[in-house]
């Protein structure tokens, strides 16, 4: 396994093509704009060597028997699923940020499960390719970026109906030694500071859309791959010093990028789906289940930091004992722990798939993520309420460092007498960073926006069974209805419920 410094050094060996703000980034490991994202990902490596966290940050590979970083692990039990979300909450607490590496973990697990099912139906060899690729990722302790979301073009049209066929990643040529792909993936977390890119379909596909049914892996610096790093709220503050950014060392969210594939060659050993359109929806659903499981872990870890920052501000401003402040901070805790309960529940209710790997309960994973599209907005609102209007009117760090204005700010922005003004400023900036910045849109749209979760919840809720239960309790004889709808008797129905 690599430690944090070794991870950063490994990035220096790569030569990805990346642009940001009109310039080409020469070194991911050394660019100040990318530094917080690199630092956050490095924490996933560094904590693996801390004896206090070894049990949840590391695992034993079922493929090699070697000790590995859990981010490269294929889940072998519900306990693995639980340790995963415990790991994510811990890392959220340590960074107050997105640490990016979970997306690649979810991608390899989704491919492991789905490739097994494709092989079973079609006699292909994808599963063995996936296993060999995972062994490589584990041995080198790599960070793959999971790339699912296509740019989509006209949302009213299917992939095959687009005027420009490249608006969904597709196969443009099959060769004896591999395939050529073209297209783009958007919003890809951690892409610029990853070692690999794992591409998956973004939606269910039809028989005339086989060219879009493709999954593969390429190095980040593969020929034909270009990344354009996305902007974030207040992203350039990190260049002005360490105060105004609020969380200068670790940023906030995961440094998303637009990834363009311009006739990129992929050798067959790195192709994990090629035309099996009928499995595209399964791959999307399995990946989404894993990724939605995460959010009650990572976002709650970040919420723990925001709750602590809010409580600190309250103390620094002399309002910590006010009943309404206590009530608001308690409500923040309640909202966060509710999301945590959801992540634990979907993990403990996970199950073994035919591949032997475990996955979370899909219904409860979607409930987890749907809560995350709502509750962070509320706990952020409460943090802003407690902190006050100064969260958006605070003078800049440059004014605080200016000798002509330093004494004025120190005097007039003082809170409780024995707390340095700078400490209050730093804590307010952290609240701003976590409650106003890019964290909230990511909570909404990361792993799919609310409607995606509602669709899955409706699909997985077994509403017909609930209707039958109600009829039984209401005294409506259900036997004929059972036979008509279910093809079974009432006795058989109760047997299935047990």
Of 127, 195, 291, 342, the active-site residue reads: 291
Of 46, 72, 73, 98, the active-site residue reads: 98
Report the alpha-carbon distance of residue 359 to residue 351 in Å, rounded.
Answer: 6
Of 78, 114, 124, 189, the active-site residue reads: 189
Of 196, 256, 397, 468, the active-site residue reads: 256
Of 276, 285, 442, 468, the active-site residue reads: 442
Active site residue 346: no
Active site residue 102: yes
74 vs 128, 174, 183, 232, 350, CA distance in Å? 14, 30, 29, 32, 14
Phi, psi of 184 (to 5 degrees): -150, 150
Token code pair at residue 446: 């990361």
What's the sign of the alpha-carbon dihedral 69, 74, 77, 83?
Answer: positive
Single out the residue of 101, 98, 67 nearest to residue 84, CA to CA: 101
Of 105, 245, 298, 339, the active-site residue reads: 298
User: What ranges make up the beta strands (E) of 70-177?
Assistant: 144-147, 170-175
**Burial of 466: CB neighbours in 10 Å, binned 0-12, 13-18, 19+:** exposed
Active site residue 274: no
Of 168, 295, 358, 400, the active-site residue reads: 295
Q: CB neighbours (10 Å) of residue 167?
A: 17
| Spatial CB neighbours of 118, under 8 Å, sequence gap ≥ 6 | 124, 126, 127, 273, 276, 279
Q: What is the DSSP letter of 194?
A: -
Active site residue 342: no
Active site residue 189: yes
Active site residue 105: no
Token code pair at residue 353: 């798939």
C-beta separation of 168 from 213 below 8 A = no
Of 44, 73, 75, 102, the active-site residue reads: 102
Q: Which residues pair with 358 in a beta bridge?
A: 352
Active site residues: 98, 102, 189, 256, 291, 295, 298, 442
């Amino acid at each position: 396994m690599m430690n944090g410094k070794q991870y950063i050094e490994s990035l220096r060996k790569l030569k990805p093509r990346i642009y940001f703000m009109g310039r080409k980034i020469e070194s991911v490991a050394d660019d100040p704009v990318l530094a917080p994202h690199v630092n956050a990902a490095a924490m996933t490596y560094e904590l693996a060597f801390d004896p206090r966290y070894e049990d949840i940050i590391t695992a034993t590979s079922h493929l090699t028997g070697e000790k590995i970083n859990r981010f490269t692990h294929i889940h072998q039990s519900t306990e693995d699923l639980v340790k995963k979300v415990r790991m994510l909450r811990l890392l959220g607490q340590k960074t107050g940020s997105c640490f990016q590496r979970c997306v690649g973990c979810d991608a390899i697990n989704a491919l492991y499960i789905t490739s097994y099912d494709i092989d079973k139906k079609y006699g292909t060899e994808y599963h063995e390719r996936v296993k060999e690729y995972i062994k490589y990722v584990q041995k080198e302790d790599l960070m793959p970026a999971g790339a699912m979301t296509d740019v989509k073009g006209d949302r009213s049209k299917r992939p095959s109906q687009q005027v420009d066929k490249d608006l969904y990643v597709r196969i443009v040529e099959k060769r004896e030694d591999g395939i050529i792909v073209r297209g783009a993936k958007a919003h890809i977390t951690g892409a610029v500071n990853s070692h690999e890119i794992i591409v998956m379909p973004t939606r269910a596909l039809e028989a005339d859309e086989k060219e879009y049914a493709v999954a593969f892996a390429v190095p980040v610096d593969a020929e034909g791959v270009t990344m354009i790093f996305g902007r974030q709220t207040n992203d350039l503050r990190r260049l002005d010093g360490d105060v105004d950014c609020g969380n200068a060392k670790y940023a906030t969210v995961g440094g998303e990028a637009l990834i363009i594939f311009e006739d990129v060659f992929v050798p067959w050993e790195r192709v994990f789906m090629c035309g099996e359109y009928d499995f595209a929806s399964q791959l999307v659903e399995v990946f989404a289940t894993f990724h939605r499981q995460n959010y009650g872990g990572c976002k709650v870890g970040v919420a723990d930091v925001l709750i602590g920052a809010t409580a600190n501000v309250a103390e620094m401003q002399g309002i910590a004992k006010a009943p309404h402040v206590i009530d608001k901070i308690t409500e923040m805790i309640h909202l966060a722990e509710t999301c945590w309960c959801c992540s634990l529940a979907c993990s403990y209710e996970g199950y073994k798939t035919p591949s032997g790997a475990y996955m979370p309960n899909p219904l409860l994973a979607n409930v987890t993520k749907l809560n995350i599209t709502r509750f962070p907005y509320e706990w952020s609102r409460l943090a802003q309420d407690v902190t006050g209007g100064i969260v958006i009117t605070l003078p800049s760090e440059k004014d605080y460092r200016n000798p002509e204005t330093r004494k004025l700010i120190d005097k007039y922005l003082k809170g409780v007498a024995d707390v340095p003004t700078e400490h209050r400023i730093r804590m307010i900036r952290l609240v701003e960073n976590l409650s106003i910045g890019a964290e909230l849109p990511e909570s909404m749209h990361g792993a799919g926006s609310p409607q995606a979760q509602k669709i899955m919840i409706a699909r997985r809720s077994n509403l017909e069974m609930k209707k039958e239960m109600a009829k039984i309790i209401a005294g409506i004889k259900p036997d004929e209805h059972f036979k008509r709808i279910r093809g079974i008797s009432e006795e058989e129905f109760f047997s299935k419920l047990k």
